[in-house]
Amino acid sequence: MASYTGGAAEKARVAKLQKQREKGRAEMEKAIQKVKESARGSNIAFSKTKVDAVEETTGIGLVTLGELREREAQQKLEQEKAELEKGVKKKKKRKEISTLSFNLDDDEECEEEPLVLKKKKKIGKNPAVNTSFLPDKDREAQELQEIEELKQEWVEKQKQIKAQEVELTFNYWDGSGHRHKVQIKKGFTIEQFLNLALDELVRIYPDVRCASVDMLMFVKADLIIPHYLTFYQMEQMKARGEKGPLFRFVPHKEEENKPAGLLKDDLQYGKVTLRSWYERNKHMFPANQWKSFDPEVNWEKYTLEQTFKR
């Protein structure tokens, strides 16, 4: 150690500090020696310091902070890679175990076949059991189709009925009857029938030349029939009067020499008259017997008492 040049007091102070350092170092060595002796039986070795251990594992002494962080990141990546490889090996091993077929009775070495899982059979319906009361989409669809077919068949049949030709005989009534005939279809309304009748009457009777369909009335069996009803509707509802049915359409007889399929009404002929004539003569016979047709009235239970109540 280089000699210190200074005052006497400074030399004394420096000498005192050197003695204190030597004394502390000696105490530290004694403490280390004591710990080594006490740890000999517990497999703990203190032959190297932490720095010596780092130098042995890394082969490098002191490093910078950047190099240390880079080395730690690389170690972390290596550790994650090792864990992934370990997980893949475990999965592969588990898969190999699941595909093994164990046969304890067979001691011969053979190739292990994979285990084949059999699919469970689906339980179906018993054909011997009546299941008509259970819901069935196929059966319901078939029933709906049959209903639709029947509906279409019924509609076509009604169209054919409405298209049937009818020769209708009527009397133009102006106080006396004048017989005429027109050819209509069952699907015609009373208004359409009166329109045809007016075309027939205009050529003969001057009092109807200025009339319109609304000014005409159709009376059958003393009942005034509304213009909106059709002959088809009255036939379907089986319209009746006091003396029986209003209409009954039947084929012509062979000796009448009428076209095939042409029908006629073989009941009492109806009357076509002007509404103005009815208003002038409704207090006299036969107009005083006429009344409006009401489908709700049940004439099947008609009695003579109803005649006196009118």
The predicted-structure confidence for 208-250, as pLDDT tens digits, reads as follows 988 999 999 999 989 999 999 999 999 998 888 888 889 888 8
Among residues 185, 161, 181, the alpha carbon closest in space to that of 172 is found at: 181
pLDDT score, position 307: 43
Q: Is the predicted pLDDT of residue 205 greater than 60, yes or no? A: yes
C-alpha 7/C-alpha 199 separation (Å) is 161
Among residues 225, 217, 210, the alpha carbon closest in space to that of 172 is found at: 217
Q: How confident is the model at residue 62 (pLDDT cuts 50, 70, 90)?
A: low
Q: Are 219 and 174 in contact (CB under 8 A)?
A: no
The helix/strand/coil state of 241 is strand
pLDDT score, position 193: 94
Q: Is the predicted pLDDT of residue 146 greater than 90, yes or no? A: yes
Query: Which of the two residues, 71 and 305, has the higher pLDDT score?
Result: 71
pLDDT score, position 149: 93
Location of structure tokens 């060595």: 29
Q: Which residues contact 280 (CB under 8 A, 6 or more apart)?
A: none
Q: How confident is the model at residue 113 (pLDDT cuts 50, 70, 90)?
A: low
C-alpha 58/C-alpha 239 separation (Å) is 118
The number of beta carbons lying within 10 Å of the beta carbon of residue 267 is 17
Q: Are 239 and 247 in contact (CB under 8 A)?
A: yes
The pLDDT of 61-74, averaged and rounded, is: 76
Among residues 299, 295, 279, the alpha carbon closest in space to that of 287 is found at: 279
The pLDDT of 54-63, averaged and rounded, is: 52
The pLDDT of 112-116, averaged and rounded, is: 59
Query: Which of the two residues, 77 and 157, has the higher pLDDT score?
Result: 157
Q: Is the predicted pLDDT of residue 54 greater than 50, yes or no? A: no
Q: How confident is the model at residue 148 (pLDDT cuts 50, 70, 90)?
A: very high
